[in-house]
């Protein structure tokens, strides 16, 4: 259902950009993605019920999908790098670019994530964060440490699902992004996750940008770029509504609004003071990484707990950091 919501709204927003808006009103990205001709019923059903993505995603825009179906996906991407190449079919010449290496690497990541999930995650259950005995007897730092590691242990299941979905699309020949800076083909066009980017994120925004990437692109296109004002709050609220009706989703995304705004303000205000030397920059990166992980801990926990009662129990015993983060965010703004 979530996938169908995204693909259906793509088919509403992109034709609007292509047929209703003036060209000069469109951004470069909107011009590339705009749908100039409404799809037929078969095209509509094919896009919405694409068996490669209908269960886990990732969601792709209509033009990219039709290029793949019509055999223009790779050639169009190559043309962006070598515009002088012309093939006898009217498209750029497409060398034999095999996704085998990319698929094998992603399947290896899947196996690693599954192994971690089956071994580590089972010993660090999220629900233990609200266990009455644990929260009543454990020291504050112990609870905070457990929250950090339990959230870390909860990520591999998401890594597994999204990386496997990406590998399936690549195996079908879909997902070629172009030639990378090293001259090698990149198959990350519809990747939904950047594990390294997430684990090394030094800001809340960087974490979000590397998590559920295709949904972030969709939210930007259908809400952030179109809202006349209050773009960030409206985008987070839409994200909560899209995820479902569990209260934990709303706790997470409403809390993320002041955190994101405060992180922006702090970065603009102090980051330039730490760029004078490599040592200062390293210290800044370490400090912001720790701050980001703490913010993720208390922001994302309701998303995993889902229920109001459990969320309140968690925040009651992590009240110090909860109040500090929220009050600091508001004060910064």
Q: One of 48, 169, 210, 212 is an active-site residue; which one?
A: 212
Q: What is the DSSP letter of 190?
A: T
How many Å apart are CA 304 and CA 119, to the nearest integer? 19
Cα dihedral 301/306/310/313 (nearest 10): 40
Closest CA to 17 of 6, 4, 32, 39: 32
Helix (H) or strand (E) run with residue 154 in it? helix 140-171
Please indicate whether residue 192 is annotated as part of the active site.
Answer: no
330, two tokens = 């508001």
Closest CA to 124 of 155, 153, 144, 156: 153
Q: Give the CA angle between residues 196, 142, 120 to the nearest 5°.
A: 45
Q: One of 170, 243, 272, 326 is an active-site residue; which one?
A: 243
Please indicate whether residue 170 is annotated as part of the active site.
Answer: no
274, two tokens = 């730490």
How many Å apart are CA 116 and CA 161, to the nearest integer? 13
Q: Are 185 and 80 in contact (CB under 8 A)?
A: no
Give CA 98 to chain center in angstroms. 26
Three-state SS annotation for 53-98: CCCCCCCCCHHHHHHHHCCCHHHHHHHCCCCCCCCCCCCCCCCCCC
How many Å apart are CA 258 and CA 210, to the nearest integer? 19
The residue behind tokens 């809400």 is 223
In sign, the C-alpha dihedral spanning 141, 274, 262, 235 is negative
- Residues 269-307 as b or e (16 or more Cβ within 10 Å = b): eeeeebeeeeeeeeebeeebbebbbbbbbbbbbbbbbbe
Tell me the catalytic residues. 212, 243
């Amino acid at each position: 259902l979530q996938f169908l919501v995204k693909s259906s709204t793509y088919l509403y927003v992109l034709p609007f950009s292509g047929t209703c808006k003036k060209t000069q009103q469109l951004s470069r990205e909107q011009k590339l993605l705009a749908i100039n001709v409404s799809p037929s019923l078969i095209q509509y059903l094919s896009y919405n019920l694409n068996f490669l993505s209908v269960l886990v995603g990732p969601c792709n825009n209509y033009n990219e999908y039709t290029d793949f179906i019509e055999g223009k996906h790779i050639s169009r991407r190559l043309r962006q790098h070598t515009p002088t190449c012309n093939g006898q079919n009217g498209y750029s010449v497409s060398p034999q670019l095999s996704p085998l290496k990319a698929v094998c690497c992603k399947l290896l990541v899947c196996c690693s994530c599954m192994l971690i999930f089956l071994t580590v995650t089972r010993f660090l259950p999220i629900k233990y964060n609200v266990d009455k005995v644990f929260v009543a007897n454990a020291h504050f730092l112990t609870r905070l440490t457990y929250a950090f590691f339990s959230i870390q242990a909860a990520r591999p299941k998401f890594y597994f699902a999204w990386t496997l979905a990406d590998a399936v699309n690549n195996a079908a020949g879909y997902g070629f992004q172009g030639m990378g800076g090293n001259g090698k083909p990149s198959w990350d066009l519809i990747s939904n996750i950047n594990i390294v980017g997430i684990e090394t994120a030094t800001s809340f925004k960087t974490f979000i940008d590397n998590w559920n990437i295709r949904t972030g692109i969709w939210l930007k296109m259908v809400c952030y770029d179109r809202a006349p004002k209050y773009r960030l709050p409206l985008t987070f609220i839409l994200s909560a509504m899209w995820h479902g009706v569990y209260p934990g989703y709303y706790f997470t995304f409403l809390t993320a609004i002041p955190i994101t705004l405060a992180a922006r303000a702090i970065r603009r205000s102090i980051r330039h003071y730490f760029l004078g030397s490599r040592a200062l920059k390293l210290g800044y990166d370490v400090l912001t990484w720790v701050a980001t992980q703490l913010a993720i801990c208390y922001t994302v926990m309701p998303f995993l707990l889902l229920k109001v009662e459990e969320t309140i129990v968690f925040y009651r015993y992590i009240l110090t950091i909860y109040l500090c983060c929220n009050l600091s965010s508001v004060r910064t703004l």
